[in-house]
């Protein structure tokens, strides 16, 4: 099993979610996060004075999938979250030891 963690632009969330749903991913965890990479921050102007904002708002999307779906999920996220501009985000891929459904105690891919 794999865990895919994608940092994406907030406005791309709906598109990515719908696309993942359509290829059979029916569960995910989403959080509002802040951070920066090569894009660095941006500038906000209040009453004529500029202030640099270092951390930009992003969405962190986490999904757990069977190994076989790895390439399809990653290519779907890349396709839908891509704007071609700096700041589109990153995908982190982890190998996952186990998954347990709390209600039934099921383990492994059964529990995804």
Cβ-based burial of 77 (10 A; exposed 0-12, middle 13-18, buried ≥19) = buried
CB of 31 to other proteins, least distance (A): 13
In the complex with other proteins, the residue whose CB is nearer, 50 or 98, is 50
In the complex with other proteins, the residue whose CB is nearer, 48 or 105, is 48
Across the chain, the runs of DSSP E, i.e. the strands, are 2-8, 29-35, 42-46, 49-53, 56-65, 89-95
CB of 46 to other proteins, least distance (A): 4
Residue ranges binding other proteins (CB under 8 A): 45-51
């Amino acid at each position: 099993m794999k865990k895919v963690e994608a940092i994406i632009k907030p406005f791309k969330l709906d598109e990515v979610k719908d696309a993942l749903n359509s290829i059979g991913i029916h569960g995910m965890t989403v959080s509002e996060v802040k951070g920066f990479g090569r894009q660095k921050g941006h500038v906000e102007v209040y009453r004529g004075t500029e202030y640099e904002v270092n951390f930009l708002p992003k969405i962190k999307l986490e999904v757990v999938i069977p190994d076989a779906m790895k390439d399809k999920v990653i290519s779907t996220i890349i396709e839908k979250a891509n704007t071609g501009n700096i700041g589109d985000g990153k995908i982190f891929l982890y190998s996952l030891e186990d998954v347990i459904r709390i209600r039934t105690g099921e383990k492994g891919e059964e529990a995804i």
